[in-house]
Amino acid sequence: MQKLFSLPSLIVIVLLIVALPFVQRPVVAAEVLTLGIAAVATNLLLGYTGMLSFGQALFFGVGAYCAGILTTKFGFSAFLAIPAAMLFSAVAAFLIGLVCVRRSGLYFIMITFAFNQMVFFIAYSWTTMTGGEDGLPGVRRPSIIDDQWSFYIFTVLVFVSALCVMKLFVNSPTGRILQAIRDNPDRAAATGHDVGRYKLIAFVMAGMFTGLAGAIFAFVFGIVPIDKIDWRFSGDIVFMTLLGGSGSFIGPVIGAAFYTWLQETVSQYWDRWPMILGIVFALVVLFFRTGIAGMAELVAGKLTHRRGAAKAKQMEAGS
């Protein structure tokens, strides 16, 4: 664990996990961690491979509906339904990825977005399974994690393991090749790497973990709302990732926390909170483009630089 994450990231993660359930209700804290998994997974594409997917709500929704349907309609235990939902999201990501990774740039954005909408319509029309517009209610937690604190601890365990696996993936040779593709796809291809195949791997990884996040989310509030598979939620995930900072591994988690806080606070006072959300998005893009993690690094960099400069001065004076 210590080798996997740098000390500052470790501190942020631990602080977040410990402080969250005291700042917010434990269910909301669990929601933050679930969205955090989704945002970090999305960043495997956005930050590590340079693929801007606008269809992540598709996998979040597939995971959530899969877990919800398996438990409510087929009597699966949550502990079986969650891995099954993950597998199902991975398969969905593989099939959709086969088509999407053929194109990049604007095309990739448009195609992922369009498939998101297609799956939304399937969820919307298949009312016997998904509950359609009203969502899928009645998703019960298993009895041993039924009360809010034990459920929170369960979410923490899933969150930490998901982060470790994704970090291992990023550090693996495959992860390195993905970063090479991000920096220069042509060069990566010229050195003999099958760019399409690696992009597909990244797409499946991101889809699978976003699906995991969705599966956990189904148990957070015990309902799968239809708007979690809507394309607007894909935009929200992109926002969390970018706001937290796509250049850092755990940055997106902070973005998810900020997003949830914003939504919780504003939606209490005003029905039209997406308006505020939109205004915040626009302001972030126009004036705050490095994200929170980027800002933190900048400040930290300045501090250490200053300290370094002071040391140099001392040395100079000493000599």
Partner 1 sequence: MTFLIASQLLNGLATGMLYALVGVGLTLVLGMLNIPNFAHGGLYAFGAYFTYTIVNLTGSFYLAVLIGPLLVILVAFVIESQGVRRLYAAHHDYQLLFLFAMALILQEAIILIWGPVGFSVLTPKALSGVVNLGFTVYPAYRLALIGMTVLITVALWLFLTRTNIGAIVRAGMENREMVAVLGTDINRVFMWTFALGAYLAGLAGGLATPIMGLTPSMGADMLPISFVIVVIAGLGSILGAIASGILIGIAQSMTTIWWPEASNIAIYVLMGLTIILRPQGLFGTR
Neighbour tally for 133: CB within 10 Å? 12
Interface residue with partner 1, options 4, 27, 87, 110 (CB under 8 A): 110
Residue with smaller CB distance to partner 1, 8 or 274: 274
x-marked contacts with partner 1 along 12-51 as a string, rule CB under 8 A: ----------------------------------x-----
**Minimum CB distance to partner 1 smaller for 227 or for 297:** 227
| 224 φ, ψ (degrees, to nearest 5) | -105, 100
Q: Does 114 bind partner 1 (CB under 8 A)?
A: yes
Backbone φ, ψ for residue 268 (5° rounding): -70, -35
Report the distance separating Cα 252 and Cα 244, nearest Å. 4
Report the distance separating Cα 248 and Cα 269, nearest Å. 33
Q: 105 or 318: whose CB is closer to partner 1?
A: 105
Distance of CA 115 to the CA centre of its chain: 19
Q: Which is nearer to partner 1, 159 or 231 (CB)?
A: 231
Q: Nearer Cβ to partner 1, position 8 or 235?
A: 235
Applying CB under 8 A, which of residues 11, 15, 19, 279 lies at the interface with partner 1? 279
Residues 65-84 that bind partner 1 (CB under 8 A): none
- Interface size with partner 1, residues (CB under 8 A): 40
What distance in Å separates the CA atoms of residue 36 and residue 13, rounded to the nearest whole number? 11
Q: Which two tokens stand for residue 123?
A: 């969820």
**C-alpha span between 202 and 56 (Å, rounded):** 13
Which residue in 202, 184, 211, 213 sits closest to 46, CA to CA? 202
Binding piece for partner 1, criterion CB under 8 A, among 58-66, 68-76, 169-177, 232-240 = 232-240
**Any contact of residue 274 with partner 1 (CB under 8 A)?**
yes
What tokens appear for 95 in the block? 């099939």
User: Euclidean distance between the first and final Cα of the chain, in Å?
Assistant: 42
Interface residue with partner 1 among 142, 222, 235, 294 (CB under 8 A) is 235
CB atoms within 10 A of CB 123: 25
Chain residues binding partner 1 by CB under 8 A are 46, 52, 54, 99, 102-103, 105-107, 109-111, 113-115, 117-118, 121-122, 125, 231-232, 235, 238-239, 242, 246, 272, 274-275, 277-282, 284-286, 289
